[in-house]
Structure formats: C-alpha cells, structure tokens
Amino acid sequence: MKYRHAMPVLTALVLALAGCATKSACTASDANPIRGPFPLLCTPWTAEGALDCDVLAKEAAFMSKCGVAGVIWPTAGEVVDLVKEGEYVKGLEALAARAAQPDFTARLTAICSGTTSARALNRVREVNAVMDKYGVQMAILARPPDDAKTQADIEAHYRALAKIAKCPVIIQTYNGKSPQPDVALLVQLAKDYPDVYGYVKEESPGGKVNGRIAELVAAKPAMKTVFSGWGAKGWLYQSRALGTEGIVTQRPAYSDLLAAMFEEQQKGDPDGRLADIYAKYLLMINLGDTFGGTSDQMRGPHLYVLQKRGVFTNTYTRHRAKKEEAAAGKKWTVDEVKLTDQEKAEIDRRLESCRPYLRMP
C-alpha cells in the first residue's frame, strides 16, 4: 500500500525518459547538442514566385546527409513576406515532416525574427505548435527584434521568449537595426535560463567580433556554444585560436565541406587536411564575389551549384513587386540566375577540386 502513491511519479518519469529518447522537443542536453555547422537553407521558389516546399524538404535532407549538425530556415529578411503569404508555417511543417523521418539527423532550427518583439514572439509560438504536431527536436535562432532601442528592451524580449520557448535558442547578436546585446547580458540570460540560452551566433561588425567571441568563450560553462558567422570567413582562426564550436552561415551547397572542416578541427587535424578543406570552401564561396555581384552573395551562382548537385530544379529568386508593378496586379518579380558557359565551366572546375571532401553527389 505504501507504494501506491509512488506509481504515478514513476510512470511520469518513464514517460518523460521515453519522450527524450524520441525526436521530441527536449533540451540540448540530449544526444543532439547545439554545436557544429548549422547552415541556413536557400529558399527555393517556383517560376511564379511561390515557395517550393518539396524542394525545401529535399534541400534539408541533402544537408543532413552531408553531416551538418543543424539546418536553419528561413533567412530573417524573408520572414515578413513568408508570414504574409502563409508560407512560414507551411515551410516549417514541410521541414518538420522530413525531419521526423529516421534518416534525418540534423536539428531543424527556425528563424524567429520580427519587426517588433510581439511579432517575433508569435513566431516562437508557431514553432512550438510545429514541434508539438510533428514530435521533432528543434531549436530557434533569434536576433533582437527590430524595434529594440536599449539593452533593457533586448533583455525584456529574451526573458519573455524564454518563458514560452519549448526548445533551445541561439541568440544572433547583430541585425543592423537594433543595438547588440551586451556580452554581460548574454551570459546572465544563459545563467538564468540554462535550458534555453547559452548559445550565441556572434556576428558583430568590423573588428569587434573576435574580442566578443573571446569574452563569450571565457564565460563557459554558462555559455555552451559560440558560433562563428559572417560566412565562416573568419572561422579557422575563430575556432582554432578563440574556441568557437559552431558555424552559422547561408552556405547550404557546401554543407559537406562545412561538416568536414568542423570534424577535422575537433579531431585536432591529425592528417593535416583542415587548411585544404577550408581553402576549398573559401574557393567556392568566393563565387559570390566572382559572378554574383555585391548584392547577391548568398544565392547567385550558388544556386547553380545546388542545381548541379541535384538539389534545386531552378535558379529563381523572388522579390516583392515594385509599386507600379503591384498596381498592375503583379505580386512578385522572379529573377533567374543565368550564367555563361565559361562561368559554368569555372564553377565546375572549382567544385571538382572539392571532390575529395564531398559526401553527396
């Protein structure tokens, strides 16, 4: 008789442990930690300017098979339009359905940005609903809301976010519109909400970034993972000398290179291959400067690489129609990357040089 009241407690404990053994929304203390390469997906569009959910899920699966630790969607600049069109949740659900399959090992991560704190928090609630619906393990990448003006505004936002988040949150420190959260604030949030915070994508502009990375890494164990950003262009130094343990960048076409770079670095580069893999990665992302132009670093010729690797079916990018076009009933302008044979040949040569490190066709 004395054990009767213990049975519900034991039952709850067993169920909780069973839940964490599945792909559920458990914290980052499970077998899928928040560290390593977390590339952002390039959003695929149709010729009409609609979100292509089938290709989006295919791209995420490609990235997972390449060995990255996480996949992130969408870019912060896309959120407003995606929400207006009802595509934000639609895309997350397509990704969650794919992530729920046993062969998908990367952690699905959602961008929860907003022009206001309230709108950003609403994105978090939508992510919670997707996790509950599909039973997948996720994370959130959350930069400060655009309307934050002070450190107090930023702190209030992240504390409100922590109260509703059902998964770990990576804080992105720079958005070009609001102040950056102070290092002291980031550390305090990590201490106050250890199941939510402690993960930072440090992407300060100019010469500030390395100093802030060093401060954040020094704040371990409260800080769990500091991610390099800015296209991973400073990652080799930041990882080897400063201690970053992750990469967040919109370079999905090179997910296997990112995975190989990280793995070699974590092993201590026993075969002396790290610099060569990193050089090959830089050779590929330089295509944005070579052919893409200064305004198209993330997509441009990289869409051709995704197409060549069997992931994308086209090289479209959509933009909201200008006022005169909208007045005529047009919603989107859809641009297509068109490369010359000579440009394609150069891209092909560079990609071929990466072949020893490519894990997918």
pLDDT the model gives residue 12: 38
Mean per-residue pLDDT, 111-129? 97
Q: Give CA–CA dist 345/147, Å, rounded.
A: 46
Confidence of residue 10 (pLDDT cuts 50, 70, 90): very low
More confident residue, 266 or 297: 266
More confident residue, 338 or 21: 338
pLDDT at 8 over 80: no
Confidence of residue 296 (pLDDT cuts 50, 70, 90): low
More confident residue, 8 or 56: 56
pLDDT the model gives residue 279: 97
pLDDT at 1 over 50: no
Task: Tell me if 56 sits within 8 A of 91, measured CB to CB.
Answer: yes
Q: Give CA–CA dist 197/171, Å, rounded.
A: 8
Tell me the pLDDT tens digit for each residue of 39-49.
999 999 999 99
Tokens of 345: 């040949």
pLDDT at 22 over 50: no
Q: Give CA–CA dist 171/246, Å, rounded.
A: 13
Look at 101-115, 265-279, 293-307 and tell me which has the smallest mean pLDDT.
293-307
pLDDT the model gives residue 6: 38
pLDDT the model gives residue 177: 86
Confidence of residue 30 (pLDDT cuts 50, 70, 90): low
pLDDT the model gives residue 329: 86
pLDDT at 2 over 60: no
Confidence of residue 214 (pLDDT cuts 50, 70, 90): very high
Look at 65-74, 289-298, 302-311, 316-325 and tell me which has the smallest mean pLDDT.
289-298
pLDDT the model gives residue 175: 82
Tell me the pLDDT tens digit for each residue of 143-159.
999 999 999 999 999 99
pLDDT the model gives residue 325: 87
Confidence of residue 293 (pLDDT cuts 50, 70, 90): low
Task: Give pTM, 2 decimals.
Answer: 0.90
- Mention every residue, 6+ apart, whose C-beta is less than 8 A from residue 155: 181, 185, 189
pLDDT the model gives residue 323: 87
Q: Using alpha carbons, list the distances in angstroms from residue 45 to 39, 72, 76, 293, 332.
A: 19, 17, 17, 21, 11
Confidence of residue 295 (pLDDT cuts 50, 70, 90): low
Per-chain mean pLDDT for the chain:
90
Q: Count of CB atoms within 10 A of residue 96's CB?
A: 24
Tokens of 161: 């976010």
pLDDT the model gives residue 16: 38
pLDDT the model gives residue 361: 75
